[in-house]
Amino acid sequence: MILSFHGKKALVLGGSCDLALTLAVAMMETGIFPLLTFRSEEGREKIAARLSPLGGSYGACYLDFGDRDSLASLLAQGGGDIDYVVDFAQGDFEGYVAAADEARVYQYFNDNVSFRAELLKKVARIMLKRKKGRFVFISSVAAGRTNPGQGFYAAAKLASEALYRNLGLELGRKGITAVTLRPGYIRAGRGKAYLDAHGEDALRLVPTGRFLTGNEVAEVILFLLSESAAGFNATELTMDSGQTAYK
Amino acid sequence: MDILEEITKIIAEILDIEGREITPETYLIRELGAESIDLLELSVAINARFQIEVNDDELFLRTMRFHLRTAAAEGKDAVGYLAGKYPALTVARVAEILADMGGGPVLRVKDIISYIARHGQK
């Protein structure tokens, strides 16, 4: 396997979530410089608290999905030589389709889909200059199988998956590829609160009888960034321990 | 190195046609067979080489038929309307394009040069 990452730079979107931080640690251990984005002071502090004590090299930069100025600033500061993008960013929005506030719906899709399209365009054009780049979008099994109240979350994830799929389809010939990972239940981030409340019920749906760990998912993401995984392009991979195979 | 020389070099490299004659009158799509992905790469290369922000639709005259329909619907003169939408093109060039549209994609190397010249070579 070709798992050589030394000297590479990764833009990690939504960089203050638990999974992104676990991935950042693994990246630093393998020689990747992670540039993590945060959208609040709390996020910035969370990144610093987890990564600073390790003594390795990393960067942190403000980016708020929906704020185009923050994107311009991010790319001006650290966008010159991006090798990888790993995208964890996703706003929360729970609500029934028949009950959601319309203004919030418009804003949600603007922030989570339209803004993402602008970001992908700009980063892809940076990568095109060097004819090399890899995108990994972290989606969710909820994109394909939702619970009541997750319609907007799933719709934004599916739309984003489509953007990444086409990026890989359109630019693959130019050395730029993209893949989506759909993890199942992970006891981390926004999944932790749900599993703390509904863990036993959720566990019955997982054939392996256990939830994924953050380290397992981070290792798979690293593999997906590697040269060996370049054949996974313009597609979605499900990592749910068999959960969605149930009738 | 002037813009023509530079842009010729870039186009030849992207389309892998080194040695082929390219002049200001050469059609990018009709003659050289440039595809969408090639034009995207050309746009990125122009941005990098000339340090100018590139609007792909304007640079590659992409929305010309849409603008023509709008001009017709609003009862406006097509040449004047298009010249306003594509400020890098002269009125004479717009008229030439309108007369040439039946033959296929109208984009020529000189249109790319005009765009770069207008947006400032650095």
Q: Is A129 in the B-facing interface, judged by CB distances under 8 Å? A: yes
Nearest-Å Rg of the Cα atoms of chain B is 14
Is residue A18 assigned to a domain? yes
Is residue A103 assigned to a domain? yes
| CATH code for the domain in which residue B101 is found | 1.10.1200.10
Separation in Å, CA of A133 to nearest CA in chain B = 14
Task: Report the pLDDT averaged over residues B86-99.
Answer: 96
Residue A62's H or E segment, with its range, is strand A59-62
pLDDT at A193: 76
Residues A153 and A143: their CA atoms lie apart, in Å, by 8
**A171–B47: do the CB atoms touch at under 8 Å?**
no
Task: Report the pLDDT averaged over residues A212-239.
Answer: 96
> ipTM of the assembly?
0.82
pLDDT at B19: 83
Per the structure, the count of domains in chain B is 1
Separation in Å, CA of A53 to nearest CA in chain B = 38
Per the structure, the count of domains in chain A is 1
**A170–B37: do the CB atoms touch at under 8 Å?**
yes
Query: Nearest to residue A84, comparing CAs of A130, A139, A19, A25?
Result: A130
Confidence of residue A3 (pLDDT cuts 50, 70, 90): confident
Which of A123, A125, A131 to probe the B interface (max B CBs under 10 A)? A125
The total of other beta-carbon atoms located within 10 Å of residue B121's CB is: 13
Residues A177 and A139: their CA atoms lie apart, in Å, by 16
Both structure tokens of A173: 């010939």
pLDDT per position as a tens digit, B35-78: 999 999 999 999 999 999 999 999 999 999 999 999 999 999 99
pLDDT per position as a tens digit, A129-146: 999 999 999 999 989 888
Is residue A1 assigned to a domain? no
Question: Does residue B14 contact residue B41 with C-beta atoms inside 8 Å?
Answer: yes
pLDDT at B116: 96
Residues A43 and A220: their CA atoms lie apart, in Å, by 24
Q: What percent of chain A has pLDDT over 90?
A: 79
Residues B34 and A145: their CA atoms lie apart, in Å, by 42
The residue with tokens 């749910």 is: A240
Q: B86: domain range? A: 3-119
pLDDT per position as a tens digit, A158-187: 999 999 999 999 999 999 999 999 999 888
| CATH code for the domain in which residue A106 is found | 3.40.50.720
Is residue A244 assigned to a domain? no
Residues B52 and B113: their CA atoms lie apart, in Å, by 13
The residue with tokens 């996020």 is: A43
**B37–A129: do the CB atoms touch at under 8 Å?**
no
Q: Is A122 in the B-facing interface, judged by CB distances under 8 Å? A: no
- The mean predicted confidence, pLDDT, of chain A is 93
Q: Is A76 in the B-facing interface, judged by CB distances under 8 Å? A: no
3-state helix, strand, coil in chain A (%, to 5): 50, 15, 30
Both structure tokens of A93: 């929005």
Query: Nearest to residue B113, comparing CAs of B32, B5, B37?
Result: B5
Which residue on chain A is closest to B43 by alpha carbon? A125
Q: A142: domain range? A: 9-237
pLDDT per position as a tens digit, A44-91: 999 999 999 998 899 999 999 999 999 999 999 876 789 999 999 999
Is residue A148 assigned to a domain? yes
Both structure tokens of B70: 């709008």
The total of other beta-carbon atoms located within 10 Å of residue A41's CB is: 9
Confidence of residue A241 (pLDDT cuts 50, 70, 90): very high
Distance of CA A53 to the CA centre of its chain: 24
Both structure tokens of B122: 């650095």
Residue B78: what residue type? A
Task: Report the pLDDT averaged over residues B84-109.
Answer: 95
